[in-house]
Amino acid sequence: MAASAVTSLRTLTLTAAAMLAFAANSLLCRLALAQTAIDPASFGSVRLVSGALMLAVLMRLRPTRPTTANADWPAAIMLWVYVACFSFAYLTLAAGTGALILFGAVQLTMFGAGLYAGERFAASAWIGLGLALTGMLYLVAPGFAAPAPLGAALMAAAGIAWGVYSLRGRKSSDPLAATAGNFWRATPFALVLSLLFVKSFHASTAGVALAIASGALTSGIGYAIWYAALPGLSAMRAATVQLLVPPMAALAGVFVLSEAVSLRLALASAAILGGVALVLVSRSKSAAR
């Protein structure tokens, strides 16, 4: 087999594994909270601590030592906001609905940041943005099949935080090391939040196990796999492939949690994912702001 074919196969395998890990994060959190196996604040704390420990192990196993970098506290705070809002949102949202709102908000945040930075987008990108926003508004509009407003707002906030976090990490020369440091710096904030919600504390063995799996496996190892795949992906492909996560999470929710897929969710998914895909495939011109 040619070297290029081996490289392509490796990238494809790593990318598929990373997308499965991202979708599993939604499933694990929803599974833990739907069964009231753990409270959301504790889930977030355990997730960050176990993720930090796993990333520390992965850093120790690397053949080369990371370069020293300044602590990025704003990025750590964004990571904590993402984890906290993500956890509380899944008290009321289905796995697929939450993933759809999350990744829709992430992509729209990054689109807005590009526009603010001076990028000029084609007409098709604006059409895609309008389609995605229409789908998002339709999904959360009041009605029988609408998701819980507070849950939707929290997940949108989680998406914005993750989008900002991703934008801050774009210039990192060692993303895995930066993420490991941010996990450690975000942990104290999560622990303080757990103390504030101590009256609602409850954690079964199953709930803690699900939170550890989310932190160590689908976050820690999942991010490591994703960073290994990124060198083989163009920026456009790396962004576009993440659109696979919401439908994967929705299917997992149907089979594992017996969640229903409403017509509203199906139509909103088509509009949001189609609109974001249209934005991503549109060419943009960079212009100094």
Residue pLDDT, tens place only, 24-63: 999 999 999 988 889 999 999 999 999 999 999 988 888 7
In this predicted structure, what is the pLDDT of residue 192? 95
Q: In this model, does residue 149 exceed pLDDT 50?
A: yes
> Which has the minimum average pLDDT: 16-20, 25-29, 113-117, 177-181?
113-117
Long-range contacts of 63-71 (CB under 8 A, 24+ apart): 66/174, 66/176, 66/177, 67/173, 67/174, 67/177, 69/172, 69/173, 69/174, 69/177, 69/178, 69/181, 71/181, 71/185
**Which is higher by pLDDT, 166 or 54?**
54
User: What is the average per-residue pLDDT within 134-138?
Assistant: 79
d(CA 280, CA 20): 21
Using CA atoms, how far residue 127 sits from 86, 161, 271, in Å, is 29, 25, 11
Using CA atoms, how far residue 164 sits from 74, 161, 183, 208, 255, in Å, is 9, 5, 15, 28, 32
In this predicted structure, what is the pLDDT of residue 105? 86
DSSP-based three-state secondary structure for 288: coil
d(CA 10, CA 60): 23
Mean pLDDT of the chain: 83
* Token code pair at residue 136: 């998002």
Radius of gyration of the chain (CA): 19
User: What is the average per-residue pLDDT within 137-155?
Assistant: 78
In this predicted structure, what is the pLDDT of residue 72? 84
Q: In this model, does residue 288 exceed pLDDT 50?
A: no
Residue pLDDT, tens place only, 76-108: 999 999 999 999 999 998 888 888 888 888 877
What confidence tier does 209 reach under pLDDT thresholds 50, 70, 90? very high
d(CA 170, CA 113): 13
DSSP-based three-state secondary structure for 72: coil
Give the other-Cβ count within 10 Å of 206's Cβ: 13
**Which is higher by pLDDT, 183 or 68?**
183
